[in-house]
Amino acid sequence: MTVTVTAVDVHDVRFPTAAAGDGSDAINRGDYSASYVELRTDAGVTGAGFTFTNGRGNELTCAAIEALAHHVTGRTVAEIFADPVAFWRSLSADVQLRWLGPEKGVIHMATGALVNAVWDLRAKLAGKPMWQLLAELPTEELVASIDFHHITDALTPGEAAAILDKGLIGLDERRAGLERDGFPSYTTSVGWLGYPDDKVRALTRQAYAEGWRAMKMKVGGPPADDLRRARIIRAEIGPDALLMMDANQVWDVDEAITNMTALAEVDPYWIEEPTHADDILGHARIARAVTGLTGGRCRVATGEVAANRVIFKQLLQAEAIGVMQIDACRVGGVNEVLAEILMAAKFGVPICPHAGGVGLCEYVQHLAVFDYLRVGTSLDGRMVEYVDHLHEHFVDPVRTREGRYLLPEAPGYSSTMKPESIAEFRFPDGPVWR
Ligand SMILES: [Mg+2]
């Protein structure tokens, strides 16, 4: 792999989703956007990565990527992967830019975009979809890709290696099962907060007819409205299908417990982001309370805004989550997600990745499949979020069948956008925004 990255191109791509209420919840009402990175190489292959933002401010993540890009330009793929942690730290611990985080927010999301683009490039050069590249890597190489700094009190390199070695057993059978049946999924498309009741009912009925047996609704509006909408969905899906709720951090801790007490009547499977994303102890208190409400079924889920592996470590250590929702590009890309997946396995918490937005489904399907094949080795409680927005802008979009993701087959991380979509939706000069 003497392939050299010759240039890093950054594109501010925004889709006008806010007007339709798509993606609307208790906090966010945005224009789904991507700070999109293309790594040009002397081999003619282009690595693609991005981080997701909610519209205004996408220029900030783009600028942060530009500020970090010199760590990638001029390097060969071989030297990057010869010492992956050194490469990762060149971005996440840049001696001047680290002050802007550290390892959180705009600067860390920019790291994620670049790191993911490097991994996409590697997978394309290997001719393998990302899940396969990761699942087939030797244990030593996977462990060597992880920065264990600040997490060794939860997971040591030796423990990670033991989990990954064990994951080799039965891998071919698990892969055959996924090729046959696909990966379990749930849909978030039925219950955005900005949708009127009739639309919620119609979308729920349609999703159930299409085979979905797990659905998520947004909560965090007036409590009476949340309960009314929840009853509509529960009535449509019957008692056996799973109903998840997502408050997008809007509640205080006691408010979350009060509101979930009222919503317990519709048997929620999880409450997602019940309070501020940084409130580890608050999540732990809510988790203890909601478990008591529903005989142990209901759990707390979070992760889409968890800034880094250290936050996930604490959520796990504090027994604050029963579902871990890794995000592909909120944190520092594939390398950091590997640490999170392995910590979840060590603590016995299932991973249900966060998706939606733009391109997040495309990314996380690979991570969930890798987790199942090589780390978690069980589908029990595992589901990938699905939202049916904006897939048409990707060269290798996700495919679903009867509520399950089908295995990606094209080489890479499914992160490549169509050139015509970039041209049309580029901000502020694309035709859509002029
Ligand atoms: Mg969410």
Residue 92 sits in a domain of what CATH number? 3.30.390.10
Which residues, at least 6 apart from 321, have a Cβ–Cβ distance to it below 8 Å?
283, 287, 299, 300, 301, 302, 303, 315, 349
Going from the C-alpha of 13 to that of each of 6, 50, 64, 231, 370, the distances in angstroms are 22, 10, 15, 38, 29
**Residue 136 lies inside a defined structural domain of this protein:** no
Whether 316 is covered by a domain: the verdict is yes
- The alpha carbon of 249 and the centre of ligand 1 are apart by a number of angstroms equal to 9
Q: Ligand 1: distance of its center to the CA of 1 in Å?
A: 38
- 216 and 360 in a common domain: yes
Give the distance (Å) from ligand 1 centre to CA of residue 248.
6
Per the structure, the complete domain to which residue 281 belongs is given by 171-420
> Which tokens hold the place of 249?
């951090």
Q: Do 50 and 120 share a domain, yes or no?
A: yes
> Where do runs of H (alpha helix) occur along 268-409?
280-293, 309-317, 333-347, 360-370
In a domain, 61, yes or no: yes
Between CA 3 and CA 5 the distance in angstroms is 7
411-422 exposure pattern, b = at least 16 Cβ within 10 A, e = fewer: bbbbbbbeeebb
Q: Is residue 160 in a domain?
A: no
Tens digit of each residue's pLDDT (9 = 90 or more) over 367-376: 999 999 999 9
Residue 192 C-alpha to ligand 1 middle, in angstroms?
A: 11
Residues 208 and 103 in one domain: no
Is residue 254 included in any domain, yes or no? yes
Backbone angles phi, psi at 191, to 5 degrees: -130, 45
Report how far ligand 1's centroid is from the alpha carbon of 272 (Å).
Answer: 6
Distance CA 46, CA 37 (A): 10
For residue 361, report the distance from its CA to the centre of ligand 1, in Å. Answer: 13
User: At 241, is the secondary structure helix, strand, or coil?
Assistant: coil
Nearest to 15 by CA among 434, 429, 427: 427
Whether residues 117 and 203 share a domain: the answer is no
Ligand 1 midpoint to CA 29 (Å): 13
Residue 218 falls in the annotated catalytic set: yes
Last residue of a domain, one of 69, 98, 128: 128
- Distance of CA 358 from the midpoint of ligand 1 (Å): 14
Task: Judge contact between 266 and 229, C-beta under 8 A.
Answer: no
pLDDT of 293 reads: 85
Question: What is the 304 CA–ligand 1 centroid distance (Å)?
Answer: 6
Choose the catalytic residue: 108, 128, 354, 366. Answer: 354
Cβ atoms within 10 Å of 194's Cβ, excluding its own: 16
Is residue 205 located within the same domain as residue 315? yes
Same domain (yes/no): 192, 285:
yes
Task: Determine the Cα–Cα distance for residues 114 and 49; give it in Å rounded to an integer.
Answer: 6
Residue 348's Cβ-count burial label (10 Å; 0-12, 13-18, 19+) is: exposed
Based on the fold, state whether residues 123 and 230 are members of the same structural domain: no
If asked whether residues 123 and 176 sit together in one domain, one would say: no
Residue ending a domain, choose from 76, 103, 128: 128
Q: Tell whether 123 and 202 lie within a shared domain.
A: no
Report DSSP state, residue 272. E
Using left for φ > 0, alpha for ψ between -120 and 50, and beta otherwise, residue 285 falls in: alpha
Write out the H or E segment, with its range, that includes residue 191.
strand 183-191
Instruction: Please report where in the chains the tokens 């690979």 appear, as a residue.
Output: 366
Residue 234 lies in a domain: yes
| Residue listed under structure tokens 């041209």 | 423
Helix H or strand E segment including 217? strand 214-218
Last residue of a domain, one of 99, 128, 157: 128
CATH code, domain carrying 246: 3.20.20.120
pLDDT score recorded for residue 1: 55
Annotated active-site residue in 218, 283, 313, 366: 218
User: Are residue 200 and residue 287 in the same domain, yes or no?
Assistant: yes
Instruction: Give the pLDDT score at 247.
Output: 96
DSSP-assigned beta bridge partners for residue 7: 40
* Residue 140 domain-assigned (yes or no): no
Same domain, 109 and 193: no
> Do 122 and 179 belong to one domain?
no
| Residue 396 placed within a domain | yes
The conformational region for residue 280 under phi > 0 = left, psi -120 to 50 = alpha, else beta, is alpha
Q: Give distance in angstroms: CA of 379 to centre of ligand 1.
A: 21
According to DSSP, the residues that pair with 412 across neighbouring strands are 129
Which segments in the chain show pLDDT lower than 50? none
Number of domains present in the structure of the chain? 2
CA distance linking residue 202 with residue 211, whole number of Å: 15
How far apart are alpha carbons 302 and 314 in whole angstroms? 12
CA of 198 to the centre of ligand 1 (A): 22
Q: Please report how the helices 58-68 and 105-126 are oriented relative to each other, as an axis angle in degrees rounded to 10.
A: 60
CA of 86 from ligand 1 middle (Å) equals 32
